[in-house]
């Protein structure tokens, strides 16, 4: 079984154990499938974290986008061939094919970058043809060099405080060392730690990630699948001047349902100026960022 199937099957199955995540978030839900006109917000709804698969073909995604009044940002995994995702984009030729597939469609074109070393796979000119790049910290480098896939239910943590310190620092590295627009799945924790979410995500740890996002102009994703980050993190981020994006990160027919995102946006009083939109040509992170530190 490939990593892509494992992560995607895990994400698709999160609805089945939503009770676990409900411990981590408020219990009120906005109406499903809210359109921009009905959302009560002053900006259009965009799901920047939508994946295509056997069920959600490009044609189906366009149908659901129109039905829900939500524009989709389509992302495909991209990085070195060490990342065993189905349809992984790992060179300029693959990126060009992907861009051509989406050309002329009413979607934003993005990638989900994998690993700190993904920029070594592509030319800046080709990456700049994307509308945006998102990344996350869910593939975590352990002390012994192993890449631990934190979304797997089987993940074990020996020393939770040590893990949290290193995980927080890795989130900062992803933001500081990758030319990205969006940090996705923020504050996600392995299954074994989810019940301790509030205790482990201390104000100091949250502030490190938020400060990095503001410094490097990286938008913080509000994720409707995991119902993360929680409101306390989002309030700190808004006070710090962060921008936000919405992402369903749902594989299957519920893609584009942004209930938690709109709920949090209303609670925070978010306006158009608080919301991410893709940078224009010449201003994209791959074109203007001076990256910190060597890729690993």
Q: Do the domain assignments include residue 294?
A: no
User: How far, in Å, are 61, 78, 165 from residue 54 at the CA level?
Assistant: 11, 19, 38
**Reported confidence tier of residue 84, pLDDT bands at 50, 70, 90:** confident
Q: Which residue has the higher pLDDT, 198 or 20?
A: 198
Tell the residue number behind the tokens 């990342």, with chain if given: 83
Q: CATH number for the domain including 53?
A: 3.20.20.140
Mean pLDDT over each residue of the chain, to the nearest integer: 88
User: For 188-206, what is the mean pLDDT?
Assistant: 98
Report the pLDDT averaged over residues 2-7.
46
Q: Is residue 237 part of a domain?
A: yes
- Three-state SS at 228: strand
Residue 293 domain-assigned (yes or no): no
pLDDT score at 251: 85
Q: Is 88 within a domain?
A: yes
Query: What's the pLDDT at 136?
Result: 98
Q: If pLDDT is split at 50, 70 and 90, which confidence band does 187 have?
A: very high
Write down the pLDDT at residue 292.
Answer: 64
Predicted confidence at residue 34, as pLDDT, reads: 41
More confident residue, 32 or 66: 66
Are 286 and 124 in contact by the 8 Å Cβ rule? The answer is: yes
Instruction: Give a yes or no: residue 74 inside a domain.
Output: yes
The verdict on residue 36 lying in a domain is no
- What mean pLDDT do residues 258-282 have? 97
CA distances to 15, 104, 126, 260, 289 from 69, rounded to whole Å, are 22, 19, 30, 16, 33
Written in H, E and C, the secondary structure of 97-157 is: HHHHHHCCCCCEEEEEECCCCHHHHCCHHHHCCCCEEEECCCEEECCCCCEEECCCCCCCC
Banded model confidence at residue 13, pLDDT cuts 50, 70, 90: low
The predicted model gives 99-115 an average pLDDT of: 97
Number of folded domains that form the chain: 1
Domain containing residue 82: 3-25+41-288
Claim: this prediction has a pTM higher than 0.85: yes
Which residue did the predictor score with more confidence, 94 or 16? 94
pLDDT of residue 220: 99
Kindly report, residue by residue over 137-182, the tens digit of the pLDDT: 999 999 998 889 999 999 999 999 999 999 999 999 999 999 999 9
Is a pLDDT exceeding 90 seen at residue 29? no
Tell me if 229 sits within 8 A of 222, measured CB to CB. Answer: yes
Structure confidence at residue 21 (pLDDT) = 36
Asked whether residue 68 is domain-assigned, the answer is yes
- Model confidence at 293, pLDDT cuts 50, 70, 90, reads low
Question: Is 32 within a domain?
Answer: no
Q: Which residue has the tokens 């925070």?
A: 268
Please tell me which residue, 252 or 73, carries the higher pLDDT value. 73
Q: What is the mean pLDDT of residues 104-109?
A: 98
Give CA–CA dist 111/19, Å, rounded.
Answer: 30
């Amino acid at each position: 079984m490939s990593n892509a199937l494992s992560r995607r099957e895990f994400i698709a199955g999160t609805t089945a154990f939503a009770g676990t995540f409900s411990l981590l978030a408020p219990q009120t839900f906005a109406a499903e499938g809210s359109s921009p006109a009905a959302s009560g917000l002053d900006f259009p709804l965009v799901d920047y974290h939508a994946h295509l698969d056997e069920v959600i073909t490009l044609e189906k995604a366009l149908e659901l986008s129109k039905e829900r009044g939500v524009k989709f940002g389509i992302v495909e995994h991209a990085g070195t061939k060490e990342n065993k995702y189905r349809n992984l984009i790992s060179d300029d030729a693959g990126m060009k094919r992907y861009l051509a597939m989406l050309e002329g469609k009413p979607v934003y074109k993005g990638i989900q970058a994998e690993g700190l070393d993904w920029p070594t796979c592509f030319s800046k000119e080709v990456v700049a043809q994307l509308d945006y790049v998102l990344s996350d910290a869910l593939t975590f480098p352990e002390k012994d060099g192993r890449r631990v896939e934190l979304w797997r239910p089987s993940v074990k943590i020996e020393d939770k405080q040590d893990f949290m310190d290193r995980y927080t620092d890795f989130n900062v590295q992803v933001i500081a060392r990758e030319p990205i627009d969006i940090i996705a799945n923020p504050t996600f924790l392995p299954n074994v730690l989810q019940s301790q979410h509030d205790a482990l995500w201390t104000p100091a740890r949250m502030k490190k990630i938020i400060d990095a996002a503001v410094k490097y102009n990286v938008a913080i994703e509000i994720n409707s699948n995991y119902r993360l980050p929680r409101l306390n993190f989002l309030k700190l981020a808004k006070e710090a001047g962060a921008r936000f994006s919405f992402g369903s990160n749902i594989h299957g027919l519920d893609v584009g349902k942004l209930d938690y995102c709109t709920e949090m946006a209303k609670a925070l009083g978010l306006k158009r100026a608080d919301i991410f939109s893709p940078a224009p040509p010449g201003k994209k992170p791959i074109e203007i960022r001076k990256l910190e530190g060597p890729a690993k």
